[in-house]
Amino acid sequence: MQVILVDPTDDTMFASWYRVYAAGVTHDRVDVPLYSMDEFRLMLSEDPKTRPWGREVAAAVRDDEVVGGSFIDWPERDNLNHGEFLLAVPAPLRGQGIGAALYDHAIARLAERGRTTLATSVDQPIDGPEQPAVGFLTRRGFSRVNIEMRRALDLPLPEGRLDELHEKAARASSEYRSLTWVGHCPDEYAEQYTRLKSLLSSQAPLGESGYQQEVWDLDRLRGEEKLLDQQGRTPITTVAIAPDGSLAGHTQLMIPKDDDGRVFQWDTLILPEHRGHRLGLLLKVINLRRLIEEDPSRTRVQTWNAVQNGPMNSVNNELGFRSVEESQEWERHLVTT
Ligand SMILES: CC(C)(COP(=O)(O)OP(=O)(O)OC[C@H]1O[C@@H](n2cnc3c(N)ncnc32)[C@H](O)[C@@H]1OP(=O)(O)O)[C@@H](O)C(=O)NCCC(=O)NCCS
């Protein structure tokens, strides 16, 4: 067996990689979110000079057949010691050393780039049997550093629910106004918005993960918007504006072009000095309303939050999100000599 990097412009090889990777990632799980093949290809084709993350995929090949796949990525603007990977082997092929070969390859690729904190995630369905990755990673010196819960909100919401929640949140936040945009951030707010994007990466609870605050500037923001345009993903963003005109927080939903009715909750952040006014609930309610106007055919929103993130989880509970599976974050520190 050999592990080789896959060229995303090699249609046949890339399609085999995707088929096998998707089979490995989705096995035994519920309503699994996964980038489409085109979305992956676009992410892998970003300009190396400007991309915020480097990315590559590899295939384990045995007797000319792809039998396993990996996705390897590493930040290039911040967190320069950090590298991530995800390995996937279809269930019927597990326990034959394919995962181990993909692992050795991924670690070597990240170590070559000087990445000493290696991170990956394990998706553990609630009440399901323990995923094989737990033992696999433990035996390779990894420990679990954080647990996020993937939760889903079924749409449409019960009649009147959003009105009720809107009224409640608006009462506590009457000094703030809100602004919603679909697609790109207006120029007027772009600079401030990059500050929120950057802070989100350090303000959301990360457990024992060593991941540091991300560096966001206008180039990174516009670069992300360009990639989303190419992927056919439409972001809907609502911000809170404080009485002095500054941004107090934001929330964002992402509508993929074709993903079986799913919508993804991306960022939500209220700056510490503006917390306690029910702005988190207000922004989410306004954004959901806009989503329903923009695309009433969507059937559910999926979100991920650290289990210890009390305030965010309580907003999500009020909205009616239900738990689907844990997304556990695992890390290992390479010893360098
Ligand atoms: C985790 C995952 C990638 C492991 O893949 P796998 O191909 O079953 O892994 P391997 O066969 O290499 O290793 C599993 C065990 O099989 C055993 N094994 C059986 N036959 C083997 C062989 N011929 N050669 C090597 N190992 C063999 C080994 O004991 C190994 O145990 P170890 O962890 O002590 O080394 C796979 O379960 C998977 O795709 N899970 C879903 C995706 C996921 O959760 N990824 C985890 C995040 S990276």
Average pLDDT value for residue range 298-311: 94
As annotated, the residues of the chain forming the CATH 3.40.630.30 domain(s) are: 2-115, 152-326
The side-by-side arrangement of strands in the sheet containing 262-270 is 2-5, 53-62, 65-75, 82-88, 117-125, 322-333, 143-154, 300-306, 262-270, 247-255, 234-241, 177-182
Ligand 1 in contact with 99 (CB < 6 A)? yes
229: pLDDT strictly greater than 80: yes
136 CA closest ligand 1 atom index: 33
pLDDT tens digit sequence for 168-224: 999 999 999 999 999 999 999 999 999 999 999 888 888 889 899 999 999 999 999
User: Which pLDDT band, with edges at 50, 70 and 90, does 127 fall under?
Assistant: confident
Please report, as a single letter, which amino acid is at residue 332. Answer: R
Ligand 1 in contact with 122 (CB < 6 A)? yes
> What spacing in Å lies between the alpha carbon of 95 and ligand 1's midpoint?
5
Which residue of 34, 89, 331 sits with most ligand 1 atoms within 8 Å of its CB, as the best mutation to test the pocket? 89
pLDDT tens digit sequence for 241-275: 999 999 999 999 999 997 889 999 999 999 999 99
Ligand 1 in contact with 87 (CB < 6 A)? yes
337: pLDDT strictly greater than 70: no
> What spacing in Å lies between the alpha carbon of 89 and ligand 1's midpoint?
8
User: Which pLDDT band, with edges at 50, 70 and 90, does 49 fall under?
Assistant: confident
Tokens representing 4 are: 């080789």
Q: Whose CA is nearest to atom 12 of ligand 1?
A: 97
Average pLDDT value for residue range 37-62: 95
Parallel, antiparallel or unpaired: strands 247-255 and 234-241? antiparallel
Residue 273, phi-psi category: left (phi > 0), alpha (psi -120 to 50), beta (remainder): alpha
Q: What CATH number is given for 152-326 in this structure? A: 3.40.630.30
Ligand 1 in contact with 70 (CB < 6 A)? no
Ligand 1 in contact with 98 (CB < 6 A)? yes
100 CA closest ligand 1 atom index: 12
Tokens representing 103 are: 């692992």
**Is the alpha carbon torsion for 225, 228, 234, 238 positive or negative?**
negative
Q: What radius of gyration, in Å, describes the C-alpha atoms of the chain?
A: 20
Q: Which CATH architecture has domain 2-115?
A: 3-Layer(aba) Sandwich (3.40)
pLDDT tens digit sequence for 269-279: 999 999 999 99
